[in-house]
Structure 1
């Protein structure tokens, strides 16, 4: 069973998600250029809002070692000892990592750095747990060596440098760089802590192929948002006055790029998969409720300080289904502006008309319930009409709870 979220969202002059050249991202659909906001961009905003509401923050980082070291410094450790502890965490994790045949693989840091080779995603509380583990093995940690800038330890050998593991023994000078990193923390305990999950990890999934047992199959589909109509980039030439030399005219000038439009946004939550990931149906329903509200309210942060594009949705349509169903096809043919201008109202009419046609074409056997809330009058094809977004989500959760 799935709950689909369809949103029409009017966004004014903005650039919330830009490409490598600073331009708003685009896609071609129906032969016309549309402005696009990547799923990664909007998903991050939604994830952070869900975590804020649930009080379960996470970190996605290569700097696990630094994070643990900062915790330990805050507890009174010397900086060098704390850094050794952070690196010890990574070397212990590396002991359980998969290594491709014929290559180094692993997750341990490169020479002279404290950054892991992979991006971990863990609950923030995992940093404190790892620090607690380091406290239990402080004496062993403090006897290890830190690498110099060239990757060798203070005794002139590779010590805890990853190169000792990366390079095959053949071809190395005897006794030079032959030592593998010393494992001073119990690898199984480190691995258990790094496998911790949060509500958002269970919801969105986690991919870490290098670490057995760390992958989490997400329970959510999250589509890239795109405009329901054709768009073009708007170039803004701007200047900044030098307050101490106003007569010079400008201390800085440049060109920025922006776009605007009505976006179609779609996501779907597999309720069974999320319940399996979390292990409790009531907790899963709480996460879904929070996710629905966050999906409708959270906005990407890109250039928000210079555009303030913090708008609400124009229409939200929720559907409880046996299988997910995107309504993106409604906008394969770009929406044209109404007689008085504007794409929002024609877009709402288009999605209602398309939904009605799809239901007639496919039948409603897979549709268990649906409803909507909008800034204007109701659309019969979109199910029950609710006056507010809060009422719509509450009704959807009641229907979901009755069926789980």
Structure 2
């Protein structure tokens, strides 16, 4: 039987510009024929990665500066100070199929587990002499460097690129264009967050005073404007525990540790865009977790018809109640009898009979671990 862990959140942000487009305006989208506020999935995934309390040895690093990271490890942990240190590092990376540009950076951003980086440092240390460049030798191409490397070194270099049991790599996946064999399909899919209601952009005209301006200097030292909006968002993410376990090389305990940290991080993650200007640190009013068995169900279509504030009510409460009603409608057709919900609800609008109420975020995270752990035993 399939198993999916879904996260459904209703989150109202005060005036903010959390995720900007190329003009500096808040991102948006047309949905159901109406303009909606939007925060991209990439934006929220980064916020989740930065928030999640993953064990240090099971974290990923997204960077082009692999040479610099290996240089530091080889000097500080292995004591290598040779003048040709960078050349040896480059030879080892070439054996794995990775090329460095003239500036010492990789050709594109790599998403590597800390264990993979450690593995490369250990590999270079172990094969230190074999990686030394011939005296007076010219710099080799990636293809030539790989061909001239000892077969055992090439084999070990390829084995290092296995994801390193990094939780964020396992959850969100990675793609290396010229090394498809080390790609990882994401175990967690994250939707773009969209507002449950129609949104218009607003403009903040601001001025700044020159503290050292003289009495004869009238007017502002600087003027400008920034666009912003305020919106109640529906956020959705889904995890395939079986895929996550596979990405983590079958480590069940690490999977459960990661799911607990992910549950906490999804609720606490807030994008950093323009926060010095707006300080929109507004946590979700509703966090629902659905355990599905037939197929994932994104409930965004609950808001195809925009929510409107009526009779003085806030947008959050009708958003939560509309979400609950739509899930009941959709689940009756596409759900499974073993599906179940648990939730944290500050709005008071989620039906009490629909799932298990949890008083705290930690209690909700514990429930996720308990449910998935039980399912994995069968």
Q: How would you bin the TM-score normalised by the shorter chain?
A: 0.7 to 0.9
Partner of 2:287: 316
Partner of 1:375: 346
TM-score (norm 2): 0.86
Where does 1:215-364 land on structure 2 (aligned, <5 Å)?
A: 215-245=183-213, 247=215, 248=217, 249-278=219-248, 279-322=250-293, 323-340=295-312, 342-360=314-332, 362=333, 364=335
Is contact 2:41-2:192 (8 Å) kept?
Answer: yes
Partner of 1:400: 372
CA distance in structure 2 between the partners assigned to 1:40 and 1:223 by the alignment: 9
Partner of 1:15: 17
The higher relative CO (CA closer than 8 Å, separation ≥ 6) is in 2
- Residue 135 (structure 1) shift: 2.9
- Residue 314 (structure 1) shift: 0.5
What's the Cα RMSD here? 2.6
CA distance in structure 1 between the partners assigned to 2:214 and 2:123 by the alignment: 58
CA distance in structure 1 between the partners assigned to 2:80 and 2:114 by the alignment: 20
Partner of 2:122: 132
Is contact 2:171-2:187 (8 Å) kept?
Answer: yes
Partner of 1:168: none
- Any gaps of 5 or more consecutive residues in structure 1? 95-106, 146-153, 166-178
- Residue 399 (structure 1) shift: 2.7
Deviations 1:155-176 (A, max 9, x none): 8x6x3356xx6xxxxxxxxxxx
- Residue 263 (structure 1) shift: 0.6
**Helix, strand or coil at the partner of 2:185:** coil
- Any gaps of 5 or more consecutive residues in structure 2? none
Q: How many residues end up aligned between the 2 structures? A: 364
- Residue 367 (structure 1) shift: 4.6
Is contact 1:285-1:397 (8 Å) kept?
Answer: yes
**CA 1:134–1:319 in structure 2 vs 1: closer, same or farther (change >3 Å)?**
same
Partner of 1:60: 62
Is contact 2:59-2:167 (8 Å) kept?
Answer: no
**CA 1:227–1:285 in structure 2 vs 1: closer, same or farther (change >3 Å)?**
same
Is contact 2:88-2:133 (8 Å) kept?
Answer: no
Where does 1:174-213 land on structure 2 (aligned, <5 Å)?
A: 183=148, 186-195=153-162, 196-213=164-181
Partner of 1:103: none
